[in-house]
Amino acid sequence: MSNVSVLEINESAIAYNLAYFKAKLDKKTKLLAVVKAFSYGSDSVILSKILQKNKVDYLAVAYADEGVLLRKNGINLPVLVLHPQTKNLETLIDYNLEPNIYSLKILNDFIAVCKKKEVKNYSIHLKFNTGLNRLGFSPKDVEKLILKIKTHSEIKIASVFSHLVASEDVSEREFTLHQIKLFTTIKEKVESLLNYQPLFHQLNTSGILNYPEAQFDMVRLGIGIYGFANDSKITKELKNVLSLKSVISQIHTIKKGQSVGYNKGFVAQKETKSATIPIGHADGISRKLGNGVGFVLINNQKANILGNVCMDMIMVDVTNIHCNEGDEVVIFNSQNMIESISSKLKTIPYEFLTLISQRVKRILV
């Protein structure tokens, strides 16, 4: 039997959230949508088809194989690969994917591959490190880097970009403004050295909201697509995209003194009715949610998790809920529930959503 648990992806909510952010952009500002990590734990192919239909300008993935999957499923938008590796550079060219060039080594390796494949003017993207200290060239490398690239007809700069460190944090506003100023300096230097105009971009979701003056030519929208902002007021204005649902497999009556699940995680203090649901830690329901920390909704009522979360199942308390085997179970269906679960796990929605296992079926609603 295939897994009956499903992650519903709401197409109209995606379109709504896209329109919400587009309304905050200048008419000329392009929009890049980030669909890495299975589109933040959803489904990159489903999401990319919707985004393509809604006329975003660019997509971004982390690794080459994520881009290959999109190409094999009919996605023809430009795709930026944020973290290409030397061993995958030929694959990028085979599938018309555009690499982020973040170091001299990856630049030299990519030029060599382009020469071997006899390509000209292949689109690359240059990443500059303005404070995140993760990937990217130093701002002091601009001149020698651009002069080097100009001597190679195999490649052409499609965009130059950087990454904000704390665009959601009001207390780090000064640092963010410093980053934007530094990137502006990089932009001016690049423009003075090139005889064509690449795109420049630095803003992420919270950057779009908090630093609209720094849109440059393009912005990168990630978690905002899925209905989240770093400001709870904005999150309330967005629509929830993802809902995780399952069903009741079996209902048990647990007599006083009897236990439920592994290691007797729950021992009944009084007669208790429990429902078993076919979803567990192999599906992304953390063991930390066991023993009453987490809950599900059954017929709009809270049912606390009993005992330990199993690999493939959870048991929940339905003593006071009228329900039957086969009834629908909601693990989450709102940003509020997703944020609440994330908070209980001492993490953020980004991490919680990407933990939802690929064995949970994705369906478009």
Hey, which residues are catalytic here? 36, 262
Q: What is the DSSP letter of 135?
A: S
Q: Residue holding tokens 């982390």?
A: 62
Q: CA 203, CA 358: separation in Å to the nearest integer? A: 30
- In three-state secondary structure terms, 306 is strand
Which whole-number Å values give the CA distances from 94 to 49, 97, 155, in the listed order? 21, 8, 15
| Contact between residue 34 and residue 18 where contact means Cβ atoms under 8 Å apart | no
* Tokens read off for 122: 């292949």
77 burial via Cβ count (<10 Å: 0-12, 13-18, 19+): middle
Q: Give helix 142-150 / helix 104-117 axis angle, nearest 10°.
A: 10
DSSP three-state, residue 139: helix
